[in-house]
Structure formats: structure tokens, C-alpha cells
Amino acid sequence: MNYYEHIQTEDPELYELLEGEEERQRDGLELIPSENYVSRAVREAMSSALTNKYSEGYPGRRYYGGQQFTDQVELIAIDRAKKLFGASHANVQPLGGANANIATYMALMNPGDTVLGMDLSHGGHLTHGHPVTYISKIFNFVRYKMKDIETGEIDYDALRETALKEKPKVILAGFSAYPRELDWQRISDIAKEVDAVSVADVAHISGLIAGGSQKNPFEYGFDVMTTTTHKTLRGPRGGMILVNGKNGRGVNGADDASRAEDIAKKIDKAVFPGLQGGPHMHQIAAKAISFREALHPSFKVYAKHVVENAQAMAEVFQNAGVRLITGGTSNHLILADVFGSLGISGHDAETLLDQAGITLNKNSIAEDVRKPMDPSGIRFGTPAMTTRGFGKAESTQVAGLMIDVLTKRDEATVAKAREAIRTLAQEHSVPDSFL
């Protein structure tokens, strides 16, 4: 199928690159846990006439005319997002997960205020206040870590002690490289104890929450959730901010609603005009489509299989003697110490597996002795391969091929794995529709 017939005619140079990427995705396997495939409908929305339209503001309150269709598109996306996560309010305009996090900080704090979040080396994200980010110069970030790297247990006692000492305005729970579930209730209780706003960055697991295979932080009293709309949610690249109308902060529902309404107003103002200009309406339409897909009963089956497939892969690595950070996985991703277990750096492992048609990413592990661009670990996951219809048997097979490549490292083994991966990819093409 040629998605790019006009580009082929008008810009052959770029056409060759786009076709190359189509082929790479078609014939190989995406195991980066933050990547996925979208449906044909989502791709069509991303190239729709909405890409031509400026829509600064919000539905019913725009700064430009001609919004009779864009307003309805955004309202549909908002309504579906609220249903999907049990939210009282949704802002679907953030252009990405980083934008969603930064807008949330701006909404809830003043410069110099304190955020308590997960340390990057223990699974957190750059936008959670790593010193290399600009946002870390505006707000004061303090961090919590795992107590036990082998089990993944968070040091919740230290988290509470830090919260009592630092009095953060925001307690941020969430991660980009943590293979376990957090104790949402414990963190929510600590936030209430110190009168902090509780924010869950669920960018990696929002699809698993929507599909019921991971717990919803809103059910444990969290005030806000930020997320990307790609990754496990299987939508276009973008972001979103959700507000909980039943956070248990007041003595009755009215007090809860009042707190939520105040937070929602601050977040909307922080997104626009505080951080962004006109929203990308073609992206919002694509989000709306993906939310509809995630509301379909089949998505629950998908989310369940994502976790099962990850656990099947983890078992193969553990049986091969590879140390897994947190001792396994409870979600969609696996973090493996390949340097400590197999004597190969994360960078070299990434390169070798890429040659075999398996795309994943090098990743630092907790207390890593190596540098970030050549760390000890690799991070991989199952959202994209599960979209292609892979089950536990295929996931086990892929994990076995990975172990072969990482242990033998010769051209013949890589070539054999590449052929096996190509065959699996051909047998499991990405469906045009998920409904």
C-alpha cells in the first residue's frame, strides 16, 4: 500500500526515506516500550484537513472563526478521555507528555516551589526534574528511590520523611523505566498528609490502566494524571492532562468537585495561553479515534496480553541467567542488566539486536557504573508486538532469539535471528483496524 503517492511525485528524496521507515517497521519488531502502532484511521486523521486550522483557545472560546467542526472534534475527544479514565476534566491539547508535565507544574506551583518525584536512575523521567532539564532551574525537585533494586520496592518510608521535611507542593508518581506497579494508595495518603497535590505521570501505562490490567490512580485519591497518548494507549504522538473529581480531599462530594474545578481551571490556563499556542487539531482528532478504540471491549484483551507477553519474555531472560531490575515485570516493560549478566554493554546490545531486526533501547540501571550513552542495561517491552497479534509463544520465541544474539554475537547467529524475525513479522502484520 502506498501511503505517499503525492510525495513520491513531488519529493522523491523524502519518499525514499519514508518508504524505508515503512519497510523497517513492517519487517522488524519494535520492542521499545514507549512505541506502538496506530490504526489506519488514526493515520488518516493525522493527515486530515484539520492540519490547516488554527484553533487557539478552547471549545466555545476560540480566538479565530470557523470553529464549528473543530469545537465538536475537541469535545468528542474530551468526552471519550473522561469516560476512559473516570476523570471529571480532560485537557487534550498538550502536544506531548513533556508539555503535559510542564503545564501541570506551571498550573500548580510558583517558581521555586518543590516537587517530590522518582529519581531518573531508579526509573523516573527527565521531566521529573533531572538537572539537565530547564524545568529543574525553575522548580525545586527532590527525589525518592527504590529501597530494594532486586524487588523494585519503593522506599515509601523515606518518601514520607522527605515529604514531611520538604513540604512539596506536588508529589509526582510515575516512571519511564520501572517494571512494577506503584503503591498509589500509599503515595496518595502521603500527599494528603502534607497537603500536596498528587500527580500521577502514567505516560507508560495509561493504555494498561484504560484496559484494566493496571490500577487507576484516581481510584486511590490522586488529583491529576498526565499521560502521552501513544505508547500503550496506541494513539497518535501527543499528551493529555486529566483531573479527578472524586479525590477524597473534602468532607463531601461538593468539596471534592470544588477542588477539582479549581485545579482544572489552572491547568487549562497553563496549557493555553501559558505554554502552547494553537492546538494541533488533526492530532486531537486522532486522539479521539484512539480513545474510541480503547473504549472497545477488545482493548481489555489487548492490555491483558501486553502484560502476559512481557512476563513471558522476562521468564526467558531470567532462565538464561540475566539479572532483571526489580526481579521481573508487572507491566509492559523489562529492564535487563546485560553488562553485569552477559558482559555486553547496553549500547552494543542495542546495536547487535538492531542488526537482527529487533529495535529496543540502551538504558541505565539503578546505581549504574557506566555512562548513560553506554550503560549497563537494555529496556524493552511488548506494546507494539502485542498490537501485531503476538502471544506468549511468539514472545518466548523472540526472547530466545535475543538471548542467542546477545550471548553468541557472531554474524551467523545475527543473520539467523534476522530471518526468524522477518518471518514472524510477515506472519503478524499490523492490522488496519483494531475494532
The whole-angstrom separation of Cα 367 and Cα 395 is 29
287/321 same-domain check:
no
Name beta bridge partners: 174. 201
306/232 same-domain check:
no
138/116 same-domain check:
yes
305/390 same-domain check:
yes
In a domain, 335, yes or no: yes
Q: Which of 201, 33, 217, 207 is nearest to 124 (CA)?
A: 201
Q: Which residue ranges of the chain lie beneath pLDDT 70?
A: 250-254
Domain boundary among 295, 321, 338: 295
156 labelled catalytic = no
223/323 same-domain check:
no
178/238 same-domain check:
yes
Place of cell 532539564: 133
The parent domain of residue 415 ranges over: 298-427
In a domain, 117, yes or no: yes
Instruction: Give the total number of structural domains in the chain.
Output: 2
Catalytic residue among 53, 180, 237, 259: 237
In a domain, 9, yes or no: no
CATH number of the domain encompassing residue 166: 3.40.640.10
In a domain, 153, yes or no: yes
105 labelled catalytic = no
163/305 same-domain check:
no
Buried/exposed 219-240: b ≥16 CB within 10 Å, e otherwise: ebbbbbbbbbbbbbbbbbbbbb
User: What pLDDT is attached to residue 3?
Assistant: 85
245/346 same-domain check:
no
232/316 same-domain check:
no
Beta-sheet pairing, 61-62 with 57-58:
antiparallel
Cα–chain-centroid distance for residue 310?
16
Residues comprising the chain, all counted: 435
* Angle ∠(303,214,308) on CA atoms, nearest 5: 45
The whole-angstrom separation of Cα 422 and Cα 19 is 17
Going by C-beta distance under 8 Å and a sequence separation of 6 or more, which residues neighbour residue 340? 323, 376
Name beta bridge partners: 324. 336
The whole-angstrom separation of Cα 413 and Cα 328 is 26
196/251 same-domain check:
yes
In a domain, 374, yes or no: yes
Name beta bridge partners: 336. 324, 378
In a domain, 17, yes or no: no
User: What pLDDT is attached to residue 124?
Assistant: 87
Catalytic residue among 114, 226, 228, 386: 228
Residue 384 and residue 31 in contact, taking contact as beta carbons nearer than 8 Å: yes
Q: What is the pLDDT of residues 109-158, one digit of tens each?
A: 999 999 999 988 888 888 898 889 999 999 999 999 999 889 999 999 99
Catalytic residue among 80, 160, 180, 231: 231
237 labelled catalytic = yes
In a domain, 3, yes or no: no
Domain boundary among 261, 295, 329: 295
201 labelled catalytic = yes
The whole-angstrom separation of Cα 108 and Cα 145 is 23
Catalytic residue among 3, 4, 15, 54: 54
Catalytic residue among 35, 56, 315, 354: 56
User: What pLDDT is attached to residue 253?
Assistant: 54
336/210 same-domain check:
no
70 labelled catalytic = no
63 labelled catalytic = no
Domain boundary among 239, 272, 295: 295
Backbone angles phi, psi at 381, to 5 degrees: -160, -175
128/96 same-domain check:
yes
CATH number of the domain encompassing residue 355: 3.90.1150.10
The amino acid at 178: Y
Beta-sheet pairing, 358-359 with 29-30:
parallel
User: What pLDDT is attached to residue 284?
Assistant: 98
The whole-angstrom separation of Cα 284 and Cα 94 is 9
Q: What angle do the packed helices 68-85 and 281-295 form, to 10 degrees?
A: 40
In a domain, 13, yes or no: no
Catalytic residue among 30, 74, 201, 223: 201
